[in-house]
Structure 1
């Protein structure tokens, strides 16, 4: 599919004002993407679990101007407080999507948004936030053109969300999403995320993710800067090949329910992501001492308990502890007893695999 497919047809309705609210989840990548080309195109494909509890709720109110404006017109409120410092990021997003949503300068927008988790906590707030906003804008477009099908709605919402945050393309639907062109995944695209198109073993249908907030401060390095460091990275090309190979490997794992191989792939991907940052120029170490303590305790507990608990990481210090539903009565008490002391004020979030965004 080409980018031109997302240019709209003529609108058939006139909409003067209204509002819409979407709740969109974050997601956690199992196969990581790190490195982007122009226009938010990933250097390698990724696959993620959609989350349930970690979500952004965004209400978009819109009122048509008497005359079209020369610039975007919007107010932004985050958790009830006007946030002008967030506006440049939204303005950049609106510029990127304007050709696909040509009505944007016809309206004044009020964007009211809130998260179910701490901002800058290492949870992908850009994924949930940008996907929620993209869905709100798509709802307005569907009012202007009611003939848009549900499939086209979801695909374009993912396409638009990607232009705000790459990982946001994976937050429209659930429960397992692939983003990025991959030779062995039918329908995969660099332009939008797709629902994983193959069979999935029952054990992965109710997976848990307990997120341990080791460091709730601002990220040491932004994702944008981190992705840019891949341009001249000495190991970049090998990494991109590895991600393609791991996405192929994980398909049989998801089909067969092979938890040992699942652990091997997912933990290796997490450590590889951090290895790329530690070997970039400039280099960064985003793990904290407590991150490593948690990882070592997970490894030890897995060996002694015979459970299939494992970890993954995003580009930060916090740890996502993954485990199947049928082991939660063993794993969660271990988390409480052994791991929470390494979090800031024992702060953690109990989450699990989810099924995508919801219109409220």
Structure 2
């Protein structure tokens, strides 16, 4: 397959700079997921890699070959879009094999490759159907098949599951994971879905305002975020943030019981706590006291949203699925201080 290297990549639309000097290496056979808020530049970066947008400056190297100005067809890259972009007048077989037909390959060769790809994606019974006769998940598998048949060096996916319902997203996520295991292909995947990113990626790249905030394995980013932005973006539900003031050898925050100031945290202005690092107090001692405002029951687990007097936002607390907590009831919470994150005024971890 292929190694991909982005070096000082930049993209401007007129006076607006949307990609601000990206440096990123993607290893052969690696599955890398781009995440970030809308407008952060992740899809634009993907389109630049594919050759659908021109880089303003910087380079893209594929296996050491500079492809920055190469035509899309000459890069050895295949892209799967959010919209399926299938030809409605062609059968599944013709849609999958269209790229090979353009190369004027022998029909028997094309048919053999189509059959092989269809078997891989469980599309064999559907080869004679037209796109209008397929479900959303089936159409997306056809779009993936059209990319696979070209034997590209790199696969690019631009939010391919966002148009599917929840059940189909789970099914297709598993299909894509299995596909990567079988092909061991280099894949770059853009999504806004936390679950897709955490479950699919070998590494996650967190984008923000045209820059890369952090790159790492999913649990590395979850457990050791580089800054407040990454801490707040990675994880669903999101991390809780409490403003704090340190002084007199203690930590103060509305609703927070007195806590001894921790060494090296003197510059902290905010405390970050994951929902699973909070627990209902089992005795009279409690770190936080508040009132349950909302309870979300998800089956195996329940999330309680707790109003703490003086805090600007509710705290989210993860509870077992079976819980008797109700809105309006008081609640006492303990904190796993060993898992707490502290941030300074610039959002850096301290």
Fold in common (TM above 0.5): no
Q: Which structure shows the bigger proportion of residues in strand conformation?
A: 2
> What TM-score do you get using the length of structure 1 for normalisation?
0.29
